[in-house]
Every structure is written in C-alpha cells, then in structure tokens.
Amino acid sequence: MAPAVSPWWQTAVVYQVYIRSFADGNGDGVGDVAGLRTRLPYLARLGVDAIWINPWYPSPMADAGYDVSDYRDIEPAYGTLAEAQALIAEAHELGIRVLLDIVPNHTSDQHAWFRAALADEPGARQRYHFRAGRGPNGDAPPNNWQSVFGGPAWTRVADGQWYLHLFAPGQPDLNWDHDEVRAEFEHILAFWFDRGVDGFRIDVAHGLIKEAGLPDTADPDDAAQSLVQSRAGHPAWDQDGVHDVYRGWRAVAERYTPERIFIAEAWVPSNERLARYLRPDELHTAFQFDFLRAPWRAEVLRAVVDDAIAAAATVGAPPTWVLSNHDVTRTVTRFSRSQPAHLIETDWERGRWADEDPDHVIGRRRARAAALVQLALPGTAYVYQGEELALEEVEDLPDDVRQDPTWVQSGFTDVGRDGCRIPLPWTATDAPFGFGSESGSGTWLPQPAHWGEYSVEAQERDADSTLNLYRDALRVRPTLWRDAGDVKWLTTDADVAAFERGGAQCWVNTGEGPVPLPDTATVVLASAPGVGAVLPPDTAVWLRS
C-alpha cells in the first residue's frame, strides 16, 4: 500500500517574509508587496511550499507593524489591497501558499477603537484594559506587570486612567472577555480567507486572556516578565480561557475549502502546555521554539527533537522546526560563539556574548549543517528570509538608526532585534545590493558593506553556496524525507546526532574530531566538502541507506 500522503501543512517548508526587508519594488528603501511579487519566482525556485508574511497592515510602526491600525487593509508604504490580492493569486499559480500574521493581543494606539477609548466614548474603554492607578493620587500603575520590551506595562492617559500594554505603549492590549473583540477578529479572519489566504500565524497566541482581576505577579523582577520565558503562573500568559477563542477560530477556518490553517506563536513553559493549543478543535500547529534555543551540541539537539516530537504526537499535530525568526539572533551568529550546555535562556537579550568575538566562518558552517538537520526532520520547517543566504546578525548598527522599541524601552541596555531585520542583498554590487534605488536615501536599516558576497546574485553563481545548498535540499526533501516516518536514532555519541527515517539517514557532527560514517550508505547531500568515509566537524550529511 502506498504511504499516506499528509496534508500540505503537516510537512511544509514555510518561508518567512519579513516584508519590510525582503524586496523593494519602488526604490524607497523599504520592502513592499511589489518587491515581493517580483521575487516570487525566486521563492518558487528555492522550492518552498508556503510563505508567511509578517504584518503588512496599516501601522504607525511603533513595533514594525505589530501595531495594527486597520486589519483589513495594506500599509500604504507596502502597497495596496489590490496588489496584495494579485500577490496571493500569483503565489498560488506558482504553487506557493500564503499565510498572514494576525495580531490579536493588541491593536495600535491609532486603531479606531483605541482612539474612541481615549476620547472616552461610551463603552469604548471596555474593549481594552483601562484601570484606575494605585496610591493616593492613582499615580502608580494598577499592577506590577512589566512590558516585554522593558518598563511598566501601563501608560497613563490625560484623565488619569491607565491602560495595559504588554509590549510598547503604542500597542494597547485588547480585552478578550469582550464579545465585540471576539466577533471582530472572526470577521477579520474571514475577510482574508475570502481573499484566498491559506492561513494565519497567530502573534502572541498565549497572551489574549489575562487572569481575572489582573493580579500582581508574584515576582516582578523575575524573568517571567519576558515573552520568551512566559513562565507558568504569570497572570498575563497562557490562561486556560484562551482556548475558547481558538475553538471559535477553528470553526471559522472550517467553513472554507481548501482548509485554512493556523500556527501559534505561543511561548509557554512546557511542551505539555503547548500541546493544549493543538487539540483537534483548536489550532493546527504551533512553533516549537526549543530548536532555536538549542546550542550547537548534539546531545541537546537530540533531546529537543525527541521532546518536540513526543509533545506534538500527543495531540496528533506535526512537529515544527524553527532555526531563527525576526525576533532572535540570526543562526549564523548564534552558532559563532562558545556554546552553552543547555538551551539558551532568552535570545532577546542580545549582547549576552558580546565579550566574545563572533567567528562567522564557524557560525556559517554550523548554520548550514543545522539546516540539513532541520529539513530532514518530520513535520514542518520554517526558513526565515536570509537563512538561505547564511546572513549573520548585524551587531554593529549605529545606535541612532535603531528602530526596535526594545532599545528605548530598556533604557538603551538591550539593542533589540534590528540586527536580524536588515534588508536582503539581491545583487553583488554595492549597498543597497538591489534593494531600493542606488540614488535613494538608503535602506531603512543600513546593510553591511560586505554583503555583496552573500547576495543572491553572488550565491547563484557559486555551486557551493548556501543558497544552492538550500535549493538542493528542498528539491530532494520531498522524496527523501516527506512522509518518511519516525525518527530512529542511530547513536548516543555526545557529539553526533544521527537518525534514520525510512530509507534515509541524517548525520551531524557537533564535536571537534571526524566521525566515521556507515560504509554501506551513499551521500545524497552534505553541508560542507570532505564527507566520505568520515563526517568532518560542524558538518551534516544526508545519506541513502
């Protein structure tokens, strides 16, 4: 009997388009829908199954578009709704599905609802969390919660009330106990599903419901305030009531053919808690972030893989694999300094290794090897734009160009996430490397002068480039790995993660010496030269048994 073929979203490679930095169609130094449309053939050639586009809605950009002022339109700097619809159609013609990013935890402070709340229109404040302050004059925040970006999670308005924002002050949190909020988002989902969108990544999916009464958190200085470590027990995160919201969303998705899907961004303290979002009447998949927190150590990788697969299996969901995204240090740089023994605690605290110079040669070698591991595992793989070019984190941005609200809100102690959001280099010329016009005012974040070497144009010419490694891997992946079955580990060596699935094997060597390979197998693809009888350090290989 032929093996069962899984639905596309259970085995897909999804490419994350950070639209502001992907491709610039009008030469103003900011990425846009027109730029993305011209590069769809690039994505088709790369071999991805779907794209996930970071928020492209009208936004004052207090947090790079995660502050949405209108959920049913396109940010003018990115284009128009008509262009967005053309993009969806063109992507579909190329066999690429389109996932959007929905931001339900908060709106922009420029959203009509929040403006009405500020104007104190009847009932308008009830859609958000407005409270009186504490202390004799009410001039202390209503509780001790801290914003994920730093500083108190409350801002006071002119008439003395305070509103809650777990992120920037320009991102007021919605009150999800309000019926209108629930109904509105179900309509927004349908608005985009009607336009052919195949699904949504859900921003901060674990934050919508807050513990009733918004009680103080037990330890306000604890890292539990941070998003990445949203620990058990914090009254702002992962409350049981959130699951009702997603049952409603699933019902909306199920009205459509072909089926529409959801992927949760939920930073929760355990795989068991994550699995609750994936029950059959809730969301389809969720990011499993331990993979992007794993150091370059085979032992830890094995544990992370086992854990993620086991947790997903309990609810029949596919595991997901993410090496990086627009919120964390780029993979090349994460792997370019000495590696801790355990999962990296919080990647948003950049500069934690600032005392050690990065070795990008090693970082690139490891990132290439990690890609082969990621793409051999069962389930879905997410590729963040620029991973296929092995771009490094830009750690030396001048302070005056930084845009991430983290920089200001942390009192200029946390540089934030701009370094992984630099516009892509397309041509092997000088900056802006085909992004924006040569004569323009520059890209919205400056690119390193040496990025011509890592441009798409340069890598297309080089058979051994990372771009060509990804292209080869994605070409082979469907036959070698898709629907190939469970992971069976082949060794418990501390420096080697080697597994078999179906008739294929993936080996990675995170140690310092060469590792012997089985002599009966043939090499299908290797992340570095020199693979034969042995696997060199910081290298991965795909073998056919």
Between 149 and 249, CB nearer to ligand GLC: 149
Interface pattern 283-322 for ligand GLC (x via CB under 6 A):
----------------------------------------
Q: Is 347 in the site for ligand GLC (CB under 6 A)?
A: no
Interface pattern 202-241 for ligand GLC (x via CB under 6 A):
-xx----------------------x--------------
| Residue 338 CB partners (closer than 8 Å, separation 6+) | 353, 356
- Contact with ligand GLC (CB under 6 A): which of 24, 32, 49, 63? 63
Q: Do 174 and 127 meet the contact criterion of CB atoms below 8 Å apart?
A: yes
Q: Which strands make up the sheet holding 162-164, listed edge to edge?
A: 130-131, 162-164, 154-156
Between 21 and 455, CB nearer to ligand GLC: 21
Q: How many whole angstroms separate alpha carbon 373 and alpha carbon 377? A: 7
Q: Nearest to ligand GLC by Cβ — which residue? A: 66
Q: How many whole angstroms separate alpha carbon 545 and alpha carbon 543? A: 6
Q: How many whole angstroms separate alpha carbon 174 and alpha carbon 125? A: 10
| Residue 220 CB partners (closer than 8 Å, separation 6+) | 144, 145, 146
Burial environment of residue 143 by CB neighbours within 10 A (0 to 12, 13 to 18, 19 or more): buried
Between 69 and 509, CB nearer to ligand GLC: 69
Between 203 and 282, CB nearer to ligand GLC: 203
Q: Is 167 in the site for ligand GLC (CB under 6 A)?
A: yes
Between 326 and 364, CB nearer to ligand GLC: 326
Smallest distance, ligand GLC to C-beta of residue 380, A: 17
Interior CA angle at 13 toward 282 and 101, to 5°? Answer: 50
Smallest distance, ligand GLC to C-beta of residue 57, A: 12
Q: How many whole angstroms separate alpha carbon 408 and alpha carbon 390? A: 29
Between helices 466-480 and 360-376, what is the axis angle to 10°?
Answer: 20
Between 149 and 192, CB nearer to ligand GLC: 149
Between 147 and 455, CB nearer to ligand GLC: 147
Q: Which amino acid is at 545?
A: S
Smallest distance, ligand GLC to C-beta of residue 338, A: 27
Between 210 and 326, CB nearer to ligand GLC: 326
Q: How many whole angstroms separate alpha carbon 204 and alpha carbon 227? A: 9
Total residues interacting with ligand GLC, rule: CB under 6 A: 10
- Tokens at 132, concatenated: 């009186």
Give me the DSSP letters along 412-479: SS--TTGGG-PPPP-SSSSTTTTSS-TTSS--SSPPPGGGGGGSHHHHHH-TTSHHHHHHHHHHHHHH
Give me the DSSP letters along 17-34: E-GGGT--SSSSSS--HH
| Residue 351 CB partners (closer than 8 Å, separation 6+) | 395, 414, 415
- Tokens at 190, concatenated: 């349908």
Smallest distance, ligand GLC to C-beta of residue 204, A: 5
Smallest distance, ligand GLC to C-beta of residue 203, A: 5
Between 103 and 305, CB nearer to ligand GLC: 103
Between 391 and 506, CB nearer to ligand GLC: 391
Q: Is 32 in the site for ligand GLC (CB under 6 A)?
A: no
- Tokens at 56, concatenated: 């492209």
Smallest distance, ligand GLC to C-beta of residue 325, A: 7
- Contact with ligand GLC (CB under 6 A): which of 109, 282, 327, 347? 327
Query: N- to C-terminal Cα distance for the chain?
Result: 22
Strand, helix or coil for residue 341? coil
- Contact with ligand GLC (CB under 6 A): which of 9, 22, 52, 66? 66
Q: Is 56 in the site for ligand GLC (CB under 6 A)?
A: no
Smallest distance, ligand GLC to C-beta of residue 54, A: 8
Smallest distance, ligand GLC to C-beta of residue 267, A: 8
Q: How many whole angstroms separate alpha carbon 522 and alpha carbon 534? A: 12
Smallest distance, ligand GLC to C-beta of residue 239, A: 17
In the numeric block, the tokens 């060469």 are attached to 514
Between 173 and 392, CB nearer to ligand GLC: 173
Residue 12 CA to its chain's centroid (Å): 15
Interface pattern 187-206 for ligand GLC (x via CB under 6 A):
----------------xx--
Question: For the chain, what percentages of helix, strand and coil (3-state, to nearest 5) are there?
Answer: 30, 15, 55
Smallest distance, ligand GLC to C-beta of residue 22, A: 15
Smallest distance, ligand GLC to C-beta of residue 265, A: 6
Between 75 and 500, CB nearer to ligand GLC: 75
Cis ω before 280 (30° cut-off from 0):
no
Between 20 and 37, CB nearer to ligand GLC: 20
Smallest distance, ligand GLC to C-beta of residue 319, A: 20
Smallest distance, ligand GLC to C-beta of residue 226, A: 11
Q: Which strands make up the sheet holding 199-202, listed edge to edge?
A: 285-286, 261-264, 199-202, 97-102, 50-53, 13-17, 380-384, 320-322
Q: Is 103 in the site for ligand GLC (CB under 6 A)?
A: yes
Residue 290: CB atoms within 10 A of its CB come to 21
Interface pattern 389-428 for ligand GLC (x via CB under 6 A):
----------------------------------------
Which residues make up the interface to ligand GLC (CB under 6 A)? Answer: 63, 66, 103, 167, 203-204, 227, 265, 326-327
